[in-house]
C-alpha cells in the first residue's frame, strides 16, 4: 500500500490540507500518516559572568502534549472517508528534519504540506518549513495553499 505523509501545524488550514490529502489517498489507494511536529521552544540562559547566552530547549508539559495529541486525533477523526486509513504521529523535533525523517521511516511516496502564503519579509526573518521541505525533499511534494 502506498503511503502519503501529511504534515500539519494544527492551524485552521490543517483541515484543508488533510481534506486534499484524503482526495489523493482515495485516488491512489494510499494510507495517510498524519504528522504534527512540535518545534522546540528555547530560552536563552546566561553563561557564567560573561554576556554569552546558551539556548536551552524547553519541553512541553505532559498536559500540553496530551492537548496537542487530542487535537491531532480529532483532526484525523474528522475524515469521513471509509476508503482511507489514517495513522497519527506527533514528534518534538525540528520540523523540516523530522518531516524528512518520517518520510523515509514510513516509506512515504508523496508528501502533502500546507502553505500559509506569508510574504517575503516574513520568510526573510522566520523562514518557511514548506520552502525547506521543497528544497530538501527526495519525494514529490504537494503544497496546499491555505487561502481559498
Q: Which sequence spans correspond to the domains of the chain?
A: 2-145
As a whole number of angstroms, the distance between CA 47 and CA 50 comes to 6
- Quick: pLDDT tens for 56-113: 566 778 899 999 999 999 999 999 888 999 999 999 988 899 999 999 999 999 999 9
Q: Which CATH number does 2-145 carry?
A: 3.40.50.620
Count Cα neighbours of 19 within 13 Å in the Cβ-side half-sphere.
8
Categorize the per-residue pLDDT at 129 as very low, low, confident or very high, splitting at 50, 70 and 90: confident
pLDDT above 60 (res 121): no
Looking at residue 77, its pLDDT comes to 95
Looking at residue 54, its pLDDT comes to 57
- Quick: pLDDT tens for 13-54: 899 999 999 999 999 999 999 999 988 776 665 666 555 655
From start to end of 1-117, where are the E strands?
2-8, 30-38, 41-46, 53-58, 86-92, 110-115
Does the global pTM surpass 0.85? no
Amino acid at each position: 500500500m502506498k503511503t502519503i505523509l501529511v504534515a500539519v501545524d494544527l492551524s485552521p488550514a490543517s483541515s484543508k490540507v488533510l481534506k486534499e490529502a484524503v482526495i489523493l489517498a482515495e485516488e491512489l489507494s494510499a494510507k495517510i500518516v498524519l504528522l504534527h511536529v512540535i518545534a522546540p521552544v528555547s530560552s536563552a540562559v546566561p553563561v557564567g559572568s560573561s554576556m554569552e547566552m546558551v539556548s536551552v530547549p524547553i519541553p512541553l508539559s505532559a498536559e500540553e502534549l496530551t492537548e496537542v495529541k487530542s487535537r491531532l486525533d480529532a483532526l484525523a477523526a474528522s475524515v469521513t472517508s471509509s476508503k482511507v486509513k489514517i495513522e497519527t504521529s506527533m514528534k518534538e523535533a525540528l520540523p523540516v528534519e523530522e518531516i524528512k525523517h518520517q518520510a523515509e521511516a514510513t516509506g512515504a511516496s508523496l508528501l502533502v504540506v500546507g502553505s500559509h502564503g506569508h510574504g517575503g519579509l516574513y520568510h526573510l526573518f522566520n523562514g518557511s518549513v514548506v520552502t525547506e521541505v521543497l528544497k530538501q525533499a527526495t519525494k514529490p511534494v504537494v503544497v496546499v495553499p491555505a487561502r481559498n
